[in-house]
Every structure is written in structure tokens, then in C-alpha cells.
Amino acid sequence: GAVVSQHPSRVICKSGTSVKIECRSLDFQATTMFWYRQFPKQSLMLMATSNEGSKATYEQGVEKDKFLINHASLTLSTLTVTSAHPEDSSFYICSAPPGQGLNYGYTFGSGTRLTVV
Amino acid sequence: QKEVEQDPGPLSVPEGAIVSLNCTYSNSAFQYFMWYRQYSRKGPELLMYTYSSGNKEDGRFTAQVDKSSKYISLFIRDSQPSDSATYLCALSRDNQGGKLIFGQGTELSVKP
């Protein structure tokens, strides 16, 4: 089946620094990547949708200048949390729909736990 | 009204029990239905995927879709302690880039 590799799995950074999270589709081409944020005991909250070769689409209330998304190729999408603050501490997850012409569910990365101190 | 409703639980069952998890939805435009299992601090893992009304079975798991009632279910037979996790239903209008709409997730605990 499809695999999305997400790194790092866990990161601790100082307040004011930036953190980059990578998601790679290993055996299929991901023209679209969804980025989610999840708080404890809650469901996934969609932050933005990245599309290869075009600007990301952000959900209402998500700061595009704070959460920079780049979809540089058909196999790599990145989320950069800029000038991170403790309130940005959360679990971030990426997800990709199946490749063109394929018929199975969406695949998720393993998640990144970000702690800002 | 939320687009997808799912009882958050928690649900606690003894080992070996049959578990029934359910979601209801309001928009008939949803055509693709998925169930995910999420362990604590991990990404969701796809369990079942279907796009038609009826039943789909995979091992101990059975997904059921009733489009006329806008109701989907996941059944787990012979539940095991390792099934203890949060189960999320997810729906989409298409499977080529449309957004997934999630239920709130049901926390399941299977007691040995």
C-alpha cells in the first residue's frame, strides 16, 4: 500500500525558532498533501492543503505566514512553523490521497510531536 | 449541525466482545468512506475503505455503509486488548484530493 514518511517524529525547540516538518510519499506521487494539527483527545483539524507547483490553501484562522507550506515535488511536502511559541506545541500530521487512478483510502504520516519551550 | 457525528465514547468492552462503532452524516455528496485506527501519539492507520452501500469484510473488521440512511459502521469481532485505540470515521466527496471530513473519534478500550 501507499506510504507517507513523516520526519521528525518528535522535536523540541526554543521559543522564537523555526521548525521544518517533512512528508514524503514513498511509492506514489502525491499531487496534494493535507496538513493537520491535533490536540490531545481531539480529532484532526485541517490546517492547509498543499498542491505541487502552486500555493497552499489555508483553512480559516490559520496564519499562512506562521505555517509555511511548500510542495516542491510530487513526493515531498514541507511544513515550517516559523517563530514558534509554546502555543504552537501540538501533534502535526500530514496525509495524501491516493495517486491518480488509484482507488484506496488516504494515507497518513506517523505524525510529529512539536514541543516549544 | 456537524457534517459527521460520532460518539466519542469512551467505550470499554471485555476481550472477545464484538465492537460496533458508528457515524452518521448529513450530506449525501459524501461518496467515499474510511475508518482509521489511531494509537496514542501516532498517525491514523487506514483500516477500511469503501465507496458503496453494503458490507466489506477484512479479517476481524467489517465496514457497513447505508447511504440511504447516511449511516456507516465498523464492527470488530473477537476484540483484543491491542485493538484499544481511537477509531475515526472519515468521509470525502471524492478520493483524488477532496478534503476528508472526520468524526470526533471513538476511544475504545478492550479489557483482558
pLDDT of residue A91: 97
pLDDT for residue B15? 98
When pLDDT is averaged across residues B64-78 and rounded to a whole number, the result is: 97
**Any CB–CB contact under 8 A between B52 and chain A?**
no
Query: Which chain B positions have a beta carbon within 8 Å of A51's beta carbon?
Result: 97
Selected for mutation to probe chain A from B6, B38, B50 (highest A CB count within 10 Å) is B38
User: Out of B43, B88, B99, whose CB is closest to A111?
Assistant: B43
pLDDT band (50, 70, 90) for residue A34: very high
Q: A41-97 pLDDT, tens per residue?
A: 888 999 999 998 889 999 999 999 999 999 989 999 999 999 999 999 999 999 999
Name every chain A residue with its beta carbon within 8 A of the beta carbon of B90. 105-106
User: Quick one: pLDDT at residue A27?
Assistant: 85
| 3-class secondary-structure state, position B82 | helix
What is the number of residues in chain A? 117
- Which residues does chain B have within 8 Å of residue A95's beta carbon, measured at their own beta carbons? 44, 100
Q: Which of B34, B42, B98 sits opposite A111 (nearest CB)?
A: B42
**Amino acid letter at B43?**
G
Among A90, A88, A97, A80, which Cα is nearest to A111's?
A90
